[in-house]
Amino acid sequence: MINTHNLSSRLNEHERLVDFLDTMAVMLGCAQTLNSQLPDTTRPDVIRLNTKSDILFIGDAKNTESPDSISTQERLSNYILWLSLFLSNNNKRKIVFAICHNKRENSHSWLKMSFSLFSRSGIYPSKYGVEEFDSSTYVEWIQARG
């Protein structure tokens, strides 16, 4: 029998993390929501654009996944590949890639995994960080330019 309370709790936590990322994107000026999927049919939890400053924000919330998951790495790699296409041949464009999760012990692992995926895509981060907002909200982020 499925424990609907546990499932509901996990979904609520995931939505809390998604909302946090969405708020971050808006605070960065990325007000335009892109409600489409990426060319490979995947869809990040948050994908927003600032058309004035040419910034693309892609964020993904992680409640139950770990940085060691191969399927998670493959999906995030697809997001980063799409970011590289957005940056290609345009040095005015910027991207922000962020992962929001609730497990302190995974913080540096998410960033390390993200750096590995970025290096494979040919994107060179200009800034990055690990932020702790409270005891259950952590964000690893990477910024890059075209």
Task: Quick: pLDDT tens for 32-66.
Answer: 988 777 777 889 999 999 999 999 999 999 999 99
Q: Cβ(94)–Cβ(127) under 8 Å?
A: no
Coil, strand, or helix at residue 67? coil
Note the pLDDT of residue 39: 73
Hey, how many other C-beta atoms are within 10 angstroms of the C-beta on 132?
11
Its pTM stands at 0.90
- Burial bucket for residue 114 (CB in 10 Å: 0-12, 13-18, 19+): buried
CB 96, CB 57: distance < 8 Å: yes
Total domains in the chain come to 1
The per-residue pLDDT for 27 is 96
CA proximity to 99, closest of 122, 69, 54, 121: 69
β-strands 94-101, 55-62: how paired? parallel
CA angle 51–57–62, rounded 5-degree value: 160
Give, as one character, the DSSP assignment of residue 87. Answer: H
| pLDDT class of 6 with cuts at 50, 70, 90 | low
C-alpha span between 55 and 49 (Å, rounded): 6
Residue 102: domain span: 4-145
